[in-house]
Amino acid sequence: MSHITIYHNPACGTSRNTLALIRNSGVEPEIILYLETPPSREKLVSLIADMGIPVRALLRTNVEPYHYLNLAEGSFTEEQIIDAMMDHPILINRPIVVTPLGTQLCRPSEIVLDILPDAQQGAFSKEDGELIVNDQGQRVK
């Protein structure tokens, strides 16, 4: 059985869809409610490095702290952006999924299929009704 971790926000549809896709592969992941239990600074830096993305790519731009901290301004260093994420975990985009095959920011949720070690066990549609996996467990393009 593969060990999978999801940094999850149950209020987010994309995060809920991603969790459901993981479960559709037959795995119950470790669920970290990152707003309640944020990753340590070291863990956050490690996750960003594992995803191979710039820090700013993990920054949520449609939340209040982004605006009142004026994070749209390009003069912030990566360290300062990480500081903001540590002070305001809502700034961390989600869901982040860690599997033996890699670490990804799963937006859109079907990106998780690229890093799940186990095949989908049946059809799956997102909450909005969009079919992602067919009855044979294969990704629909």
pLDDT digits (tens, 9 = 90+) for 65-123: 999 999 998 899 999 999 999 999 999 999 999 999 999 999 999 999 999 999 999 99
pLDDT above 90 for 29: yes
Domain ranges of the chain: 5-133
Task: Output the six-digit token pair for 133.
Answer: 């996996």
CATH of 5-133, one of 3.60.40.10, 3.30.2350.10, 1.10.357.10, 3.40.30.10: 3.40.30.10
Q: What integer is the mean pLDDT of 41-56?
A: 98
pLDDT at 1: 62
Asked about 106 being catalytic, the answer comes back as no
Residue percentage of the chain with pLDDT more than 90: 94
pLDDT above 90 for 62: yes
Phi-psi region of 63 (alpha: psi -120 to 50; beta: other; left: phi over 0): beta
Supply the DSSP string of 6-73, one letter for each residue.
EEE-TT-HHHHHHHHHHHHTT---EEEETTTSPPPHHHHHHHHHHHT--GGGGB-SSSHHHHHTTTTS
Q: Considering the candidates 1, 2, 7, 12, report the single residue annotated as catalytic.
A: 12
Non-local (6+) Cβ contacts of 44 within 8 A are 38, 82, 85, 86, 92
pLDDT above 80 for 39: yes
pLDDT above 70 for 52: yes
Q: What is the mean pLDDT of the chain?
A: 96
Q: What is the CA radius of gyration of the chain?
A: 16
How sure is the predictor about 141, in pLDDT bands with cuts at 50, 70 and 90? confident
Residue carrying structure tokens 């003069």? 75
pLDDT at 2: 76
